[in-house]
């Protein structure tokens, strides 16, 4: 429900009423999950951090198996390394591509060996750099069909957004023996994609989920409501030992990275925590005013 502030009733300009109510809405609803309280605003701030957080590379590191982190402090980018070249999941903003390249090279990998570019969802903070990445590496861009239209609207510097292959729910993408499966988890965008794979570490297999954001839009529609209902049910069925996400805060990267450099090679293994972010986003979704 909209709450009209006294200042708004007194305001003479309709525009400022509208703006102040949008801002007020961001602080509601409030949901508490695991003893922590969240609002729509706090989740966005947690995900995005400051301008510097969005563009400053986080220390590149091997997450587990053949998965490496090459993103910034708040925007994830993963390099998945295979004998036939690499896959890059999320190019983030175009201005971050050079940092991603430096991170990959500092880990000892050739950027020119990136063969496939994948993404979680069609928002600029995750996939704006796809065209630049392709210019630098010649990699093929693989996208969920349902996000294609939104992606083609992301044109940094006027560049067309490349799409070399589209996939649908359940489709697999393979490179050098590593298979990633695309799961349509729509709601945040129409083609929001959770990617899953299996890695080996210390002699056993681990199921990895690169979750797509499940953050509901501020105003639900019947369509986004139906999409999210399906997506929450779907992600709860995914086998998961290692939860990862399009923003590092979704899987508490910094805390786990601290354990990794402390000597725990399995720092990112957290089966019991795989659904924590799902629970936060589902609680928020259910607390929002229903679609009309």
Mark the segment that binds Zn ion (CB under 5 A) among 122-130, 148-156, 158-166, 190-198: 122-130
Q: Is 193 left (phi over 0), alpha (psi -120 to 50) or beta?
A: beta
Residue nearest to Zn ion according to CB distances in the complex: 123
Per-residue 3-state assignment (H helix, E strand, C coil) for 217-285: CCCCCHHHHHHHHHHHHHHCCCCCCEEEECCHHHHCHHHHHHHHHCCCCCCCCCHHHCCHHHHHHHHHH
Mark the segment that binds Zn ion (CB under 5 A) among 34-42, 72-80, 123-131, 191-199: 123-131
3-class SS of residue 201: strand
The answer to whether residue 161 forms part of the interface with Zn ion (CB under 5 A) is: no
**Residue 61 or 123 with smaller CB distance to Zn ion:** 123
The answer to whether residue 123 forms part of the interface with Zn ion (CB under 5 A) is: yes
CB-based burial label for 132 (10 Å; 0-12, 13-18, 19+):
buried
Tell me the closest approach of the beta carbon of residue 93 to Zn ion, in angstroms.
Answer: 12
The closest alpha carbon to 90, from 54, 64, 62, 50, belongs to 54
Handedness of CA 78, 172, 245, 238 (dihedral sign): negative
Tell me the closest approach of the beta carbon of residue 123 to Zn ion, in angstroms.
Answer: 4
Give how many residues touch Zn ion by CB under 5 A: 1
CA–CA distance, 255 with 249 (Å, rounded to integer)? 9
Mark the segment that binds Zn ion (CB under 5 A) among 115-123, 143-151, 179-187, 220-228: 115-123
Mark the segment that binds Zn ion (CB under 5 A) among 19-27, 118-126, 259-267, 284-292: 118-126
Return the residues of window 28-57 that contact Zn ion according to CB under 5 A: none
**Residue 64 or 75 with smaller CB distance to Zn ion:** 75
Contact characters 72-111, Zn ion, x per CB under 5 A? ----------------------------------------
The closest alpha carbon to 209, from 67, 1, 40, 31, belongs to 67
- Which residues are at the interface with Zn ion (CB under 5 A)? 123
């Amino acid at each position: 429900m909209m709450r009209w502030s006294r200042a708004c009733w007194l305001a003479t300009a309709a525009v400022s009423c509208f703006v102040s109510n949008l801002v007020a809405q961001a602080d509601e609803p409030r949901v508490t999950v695991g003893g922590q309280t969240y609002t729509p605003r706090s989740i966005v701030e947690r995900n995005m951090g400051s301008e510097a957080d969005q563009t400053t590379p986080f220390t590149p590191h091997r997450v587990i198996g053949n998965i490496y982190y090459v993103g910034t402090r708040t925007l994830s980018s993963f390099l998945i390394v295979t004998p036939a070249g690499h896959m890059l999941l999320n190019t983030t903003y175009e201005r971050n591509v050079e940092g991603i390249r430096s991170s990959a090279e500092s880990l000892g990998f050739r950027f020119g060996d990136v063969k496939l570019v994948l993404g979680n969802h069609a928002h600029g903070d995750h996939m704006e750099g796809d065209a630049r990445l392709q210019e630098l590496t010649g990699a093929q861009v693989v996208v969920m069909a349902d996000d294609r239209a939104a992606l083609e609207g992301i044109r940094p510097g006027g560049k067309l957004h490349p799409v070399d292959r589209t996939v649908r729910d359940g489709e697999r993408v393979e490179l050098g023996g590593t298979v990633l499966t695309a799961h349509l988890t729509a709601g945040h965008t129409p083609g929001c994609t959770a990617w899953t794979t299996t890695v080996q570490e210390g002699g056993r297999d681990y199921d990895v989920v690169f979750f797509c954001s499940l953050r509901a839009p501020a105003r639900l529609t019947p369509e986004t409501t139906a999409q999210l209902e399906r997506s929450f049910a779907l992600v709860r069925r995914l086998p998961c030992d290692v939860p990862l996400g399009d923003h590092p805060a979704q899987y508490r990267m910094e805390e786990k990275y601290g354990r990794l450099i402390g000597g725990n090679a399995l720092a990112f293994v957290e089966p019991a925590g795989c659904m924590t972010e799902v629970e936060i986003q589902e609680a928020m979704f259910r607390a929002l005013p229903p679609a009309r």
